[in-house]
A and B are shown apart, each in its own frame.
Chain A
């Protein structure tokens, strides 16, 4: 790992994506809910045509700086937030608009409620259901609405990751339903869904040991150099030889309830990744806490 690896959106190795927003209690029919946005804020910029040379130099270095449209005397280009400082180096630029490219997830929690089917109920604990789904419109190519093998599997591991955190034994003969719907996807949707699910479960008032935070860390390589990085986006995940390791962390005890890996790493690299994951999970945990507390501060704000 001698040389430097440049992340496509200009982030440094340990940075999460620039925007992680969570709001608790967004669905009034559910017992608990959360909405999460996790991605990169992009600026669409109008650049005079004579500046295009600079743009192509940059996009060679950072693929996420890209020209989206050419017009007669100007081009439209996208800049991810970590590279906004580059915009100032251009002459006569105009910021057209800003938007988020990333994951958007709704999570609804119902329960504890009457179990259906009844024969699955246990007299010792509540049964937990976790349903992860991706909307057909969440990815550029239509995703079939049929639950895929991937979704079924993610649902299962997510359920197992949360089961250990909840005091399910307090609600015998009931069922707790968690529905996570990904409406926009850009790598790391399972951790986005789990991060939102833990806020939604707390919002439903279900007793938990901790607020689990989920994050993915990974390894990306270019030109023979490799680096351990946090929170891979779609561009990075698709890079040659990329390794992705989603995890769920109980931030207080620094325990893992989910670890999956896609790719190969050495033992030393894995240890480095886990350590980075714990630190990043604690950052996400702070955002989760704020989301829950904000729900109540919003109300007490109208005191006077």
Chain B
């Protein structure tokens, strides 16, 4: 595992010549952090993985939104973001109404960051939770490892939106939910996968014990 360390805005990351990743800036040839987060210099790129902040739409992101307005050409979608999103009718196979939960992909982001969505689907039933959007990468894990772990261990269907919304469907949804909140709390620590595995196994075991 590469080295990561906690930084606050204005902290020096490196004096070497590197490419700039997200959340860093250059001044006088030195690279500094813009936010509170985990700094990392890997393969000649300096970046800071932020720990706080709201969701800003990016092209290609899978997102989970709520229909806030039904218009003739499509739907206005709330993305838990300062920016608005629009989903055209032809990107949704069925008709949605106010309050429906939609999973979609960000197709385009315009100059003032409002998003155009595509490939929409309505999510019915289940449960919707919201966490800090900056902790979503940790919920998904490297190559979806954490998400696969959550799904196999609990048997819950989980849809994760990059905007911090997570949709859960299944019998053990409450265990998966608690595990996700635990990941959110401890996102900046290492050895998280092992702790989550242990946590879920204990919870599942406790449940079986109670039923017997």
Contacts and interface: CB of A to CB of B under 8 A. Distances in A.
Contact of B35 (A208, A252, A289): A208
A123 B34 CA distance: 22
B186 A210 contact: no
Interface stretch (A171-179, A225-233, A239-247): A171-179
A202 B8 contact: yes
A251 B8 CA distance: 13
A291 to B, nearest CB: 9
B186 A299 contact: yes
Interface string B14-25: 000000000101
Interface stretch (B45-53, B86-94, B117-125, B170-178): B45-53
A263 interface: no
Main secondary structure of the interface of B (DSSP, over half): loop
Interface in A65-123: 111-114, 123
B188 A208 contact: no
B54 A205 contact: yes
Given A114-B82, A299-B185, A300-B186, A204 B52 contact: yes
Interface in A25-66: 31-32
B70 interface: no
Interface residues of A, number: 35
User: On chain B, which size bracket covers the interface?
Assistant: 20 to 34
A296 B128 CA distance: 26
A299 B53 contact: no
A2 interface: no
Interface in A4-36: 31-32
Given A207-B34, A208-B34, A252 B82 contact: no
A209 B189 contact: no
Contacts of B36: 202-203, 205, 292
Given A174-B82, A210-B9, A211-B9, A299 B188 contact: yes
A123 B112 contact: yes
A112 B8 contact: no
A296 B6 contact: yes
Nearest to A112: B82
B8 A111 contact: no
Nearest to A209: B10
B54 A252 contact: no
A277 to B, nearest CB: 18
Interface string A192-215: 000000000011111111110000
Contacts of A211: 8-10
B42 to A, nearest CB: 21
B209 interface: no
A300 B8 CA distance: 17
B99 to A, nearest CB: 19
A32 B54 CA distance: 11
A167 interface: yes
**9 shortest A-B CB distances, which residue pairs?**
A205-B53, A205-B52, A210-B10, A207-B34, A208-B9, A174-B82, A300-B189, A112-B82, A173-B112
Interface of A: 31-32, 111-114, 123, 167, 170-174, 202-211, 250-253, 288-289, 292-293, 296, 299-300, 303
Interface of B: 6, 8-10, 23, 25, 27, 32, 34-36, 50-54, 56, 82-83, 111-114, 134, 185-186, 188-189, 191, 195
23 contacts: A31-B52, A113-B54, A114-B82, A172-B112, A173-B112, A202-B8, A202-B35, A202-B36, A203-B52, A204-B53, A205-B35, A205-B50, A205-B51, A205-B54, A207-B34, A208-B10, A209-B9, A209-B10, A210-B9, A210-B10, A211-B9, A292-B8, A300-B188
